[in-house]
């Protein structure tokens, strides 16, 4: 399955540290420095007024970053838009991008070291209802590639059962 639209969400360890408005200048500074490798960063959009919405969005050509509040759980999410080769290549590139973004956030003096993210557990969100409908066949089909990228000991649990929802997989025991 050559999926190229999907997301990876890292959970914030301290949700209170994810003060959305503080991310506006942070993301603008990333654009000034074009701080994320292999990404053309374009613009920042403030969606913090939307309940459990994307929060602050950093738009890139290859993918978007945001301080997503999905289901009330703050985190740092990355949605890939452009293929970086095979699905495995794209997944590796996306993981690298979101981890780099997490490092940048954690090191940003504006947040005083309070914003930290879990690396051992994350969400994988498929974002293509044609190629990857939310069903068990897709789940099984994705697992081998997810295992290659997130580590042989990683555990996978499908969440969000609604067929209209995107297939979302909780990945635990992630090893890089």
Partner 1 sequence: MPTWEEKLADRIDPQLAAEIDKFETEITLRKQGKLDEKVFAETRLRRGCYGQRYDNGHRHDGIRSQELHYSTDLTKGPETLWDAPGMQRIKIPFGGLNPDQMDVLADLAEEYADGVLHVTTRQDFQYHFVHIDDTPAIMRRLAAVGITTREACGNSIRNVTACPLAGVCNTETFDVVPYARATAKFMLGHPDAQNFGRKFKIAFSGCRQEACGLVNMHDLGLIAVTRVENGRIRRGFEVYVGGGLGAVPHNAKLFEEFLPEEDLLPTTQAISRVFARLGEKKQRDRARIKFLIAKLGIEEFKRLVVEERQTLQADPRWTEYLDHAHQYTEKPLKPPTLLNGQRRPEGFDAWYATNVYRQKQAGYVVASITLPLGDLASWQMRELAGIARRFSGDSVRTTVEQNMVLRWVSETDLPDLYRDLMRIGLGAPGAGTIVDVTACPGTDTCKLGISSSRGLAGELRTRLAAKSYTLDEAVKNLRIKISGCFNSCGQHHIADMGFYGMSINVGNRKVPHFQVVLGGKWQDNAGAYGLPLVRVPSKRIPEVIDRVTDRYVRERAANESFQDFLKRVGKKDLRAMLEDLTHIPPYEVDPSFYSDWGDPREYTIGDMGVGECAGEVISVAQFALAAADGLVFQAQLHLESGDFPNADQLAYKAMLQAALSLVRVQWPEAPDEAGTTIQEFRQRFFETNIWGDRYAGSKFAQYLFIRHSAPPSHHTGDHAHRVVEEAQLFVDAVYRGHEILAERGTR
The three-state secondary structure class of 175 is coil
How many CB atoms lie under 10 A from the CB of residue 132?
22
Q: How far is the CB of 162 from partner 1 (least distance, A)?
A: 8
Alpha-carbon gap, residue 52 to 67, rounded angstroms: 10
User: How many residues line the site for partner 1 (CB under 8 A)?
Assistant: 35
Alpha-carbon gap, residue 41 to 6, rounded angstroms: 18
Q: How far is the CB of 62 from partner 1 (least distance, A)?
A: 10
Q: List Cα–Cα distances, 152 to 1, 145, 165, in angstroms.
A: 19, 10, 27
Does residue 175 belong to the site contacting partner 1 (CB under 8 A)? no
Does residue 164 belong to the site contacting partner 1 (CB under 8 A)? yes
The three-state secondary structure class of 137 is helix
The piece of 51-59, 87-95, 96-104, 140-148 that touches partner 1 (CB under 8 A) is 51-59
Does residue 59 belong to the site contacting partner 1 (CB under 8 A)? yes
Residues near partner 1, by CB under 8 A: 2, 5, 24-25, 28, 31-32, 34, 40, 42-47, 49-54, 57, 59, 61, 64, 70, 81, 127-131, 164-166
């Amino acid at each position: 399955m050559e999926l190229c639209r999907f997301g990876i969400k890292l959970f914030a360890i301290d949700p209170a540290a994810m003060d959305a408005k503080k991310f506006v200048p942070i993301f603008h500074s990333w654009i000034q420095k074009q701080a994320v490798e292999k990404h053309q960063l374009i613009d920042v959009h403030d969606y913090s007024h939307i309940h459990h919405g994307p929060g602050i969005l950093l738009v890139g050509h290859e993918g978007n970053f945001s301080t997503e509040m999905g289901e009330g759980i703050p985190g740092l999410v990355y949605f890939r838009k452009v293929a970086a080769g095979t699905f495995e290549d794209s997944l590796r590139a996306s993981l690298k991008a979101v981890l780099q973004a997490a490092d940048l956030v954690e090191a940003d003096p504006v947040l005083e070291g309070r914003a930290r993210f879990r690396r051992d557990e994350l969400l994988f969100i498929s974002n293509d209802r044609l190629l990857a409908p939310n069903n068990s066949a897709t789940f099984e089909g994705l697992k081998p590639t997810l295992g290659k990228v997130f580590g042989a000991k990683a555990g996978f649990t499908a969440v969000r059962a609604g067929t209209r929802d995107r297939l979302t997989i909780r990945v635990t025991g992630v090893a890089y």
